[in-house]
Each structure stands twice: as C-alpha cells, then as structure tokens.
C-alpha cells in the first residue's frame, strides 16, 4: 500500500511541477513581450502588415457569417413567436442575440480558426525552411519579430470585426424582418 501511495505522490508532484514550469515559461514570454515594446521599429511595421492581412483575409467570411446569423435569427424568431408573443419583439431579440451572444462567439471562433491556422502554417514553414534559425543568428528577438506583431494585430482587429459583425448582422435581421415577416421598419428600429 505504501508503494502505491509513494507512486501517487510522485505523479502528483511531477504534475504540479510541470504546471508551475509552464506558468513560469508563460510569465517569461509575457515579460519579454513587455520589454520588446520599446523596440517599436521592429514590431510596428510588421503589426501594420499583419492588421492589413487579417482585415483583408477575414472580411468576406465575417460579412457572410454575420449576414446569415442576423437573417436566420430574425426568421426563426418570427416563426417561433407566431401566435404566442407579439411579432414586434423580433427587433429586440435580434439585437440581443447578435450583440450579446452570437457576435463575440462567432467572430472569435472565425478569427481564431482562420488566423490561427494561417499563423501555424506560416511558422511551420519558417521552421522547415530554417528562416527562424536565420532570425536567431541575426540576433533579432523572435518574440519582437514574430510573436508581438501577430498578437497586437489580432487584439486590434478583433473589436473592429465585432463592430462590423454587429452592424451587418442587424442589417441582415432587418431585411428579413421587413421583407419576409412584414414588420414595420419603424417598429423594428424602435425595438433595437
């Protein structure tokens, strides 16, 4: 019985130490990113390019998903509320669904999937073609050159895409509510 207890203690201790080591490595990365912000000549031009790449590359998919999300939310609300709840609440329901629930989740998922896959492919290709080794040999910090621009660009573009998603989603809901559900446009906007 004592051998099992000793083995359990060993495994628990190893798991705790591994978790603490991961937290320490993350803290070192965050500290290096903070120190690297002073070197704005390295990360600022790359951040601008990353923002442009994220914006242009993700614009179509965000517009497509937001317009369909708004339209489907309005359509489902209109059909579900037939007879039970007044139809004029569709505007407030679409607004609350798009702004509070669907917007942040879908924008985050789309951008995380699209941008995350792109970054993984780029960095994997750079590792295979030994570009990362060249950057290290030149004495440039990988965090300042590769990580900081991508992270800052992602943080800057996420709220902009959320605003765009909300606007287009509400417009899609408006079109469905007015054209298919025959809700007065003034009533729809009043409920927003």
- The 10s digit of each residue's pLDDT in 94-104 is 888 888 888 89
How far, CA to CA in Å, does 71 sit from each of 159, 173, 190?
A: 22, 4, 18
Q: What is the pTM of this model?
A: 0.79
**pLDDT given for residue 1 in this prediction:** 57
In this structure, of 74-83, 92-101, 122-131, 158-167, the range with the lowest mean pLDDT score is 74-83
**pLDDT given for residue 135 in this prediction:** 87
Banded pLDDT at 166 (limits 50, 70, 90): very high
Cα distance between residue 81 and residue 177, in whole Å: 13
Cα distance between residue 124 and residue 159, in whole Å: 28
**Alpha-carbon 37 to chain mean position:** 23
How far, CA to CA in Å, does 73 sit from each of 15, 35, 162, 186, 187?
A: 45, 46, 17, 19, 17
Summarised one tens digit per residue, pLDDT across range 105-122 is: 999 998 889 888 988 999
**In the block, residue with structure tokens 């009043």:** 190
Helix/strand/coil for 107: helix
């Amino acid at each position: 019985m004592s051998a099992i207890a000793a083995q359990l203690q060993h495994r628990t201790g190893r798991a705790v130490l591994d978790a603490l080591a991961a937290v320490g490595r993350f803290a070192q990365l965050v500290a290096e990113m903070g120190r690297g912000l002073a070197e704005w000549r390295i990360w600022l031009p790359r951040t601008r390019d990353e923002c442009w790449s994220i914006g242009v590359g993700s614009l179509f998919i965000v517009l497509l998903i937001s317009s369909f999300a708004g339209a489907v939310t309005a359509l489902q609300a209109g059909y579900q509320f037939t007879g039970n709840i007044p139809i004029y609440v569709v505007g407030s329901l679409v607004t609350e669904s798009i702004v509070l629930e669907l917007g942040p989740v879908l924008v985050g998922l789309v951008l995380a999937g699209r941008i995350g896959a792109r970054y993984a492919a780029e960095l994997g290709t750079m590792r295979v073609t030994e570009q990362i080794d060249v950057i290290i040999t030149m004495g440039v910090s990988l965090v300042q050159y590769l990580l900081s621009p991508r992270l800052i660009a992602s943080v800057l573009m996420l709220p902009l895409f959320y605003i765009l998603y909300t606007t287009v989603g509400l417009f899609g809901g408006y079109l469905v509510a007015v054209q298919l559900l025959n809700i007065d446009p003034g009533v729809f906007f009043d409920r927003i």
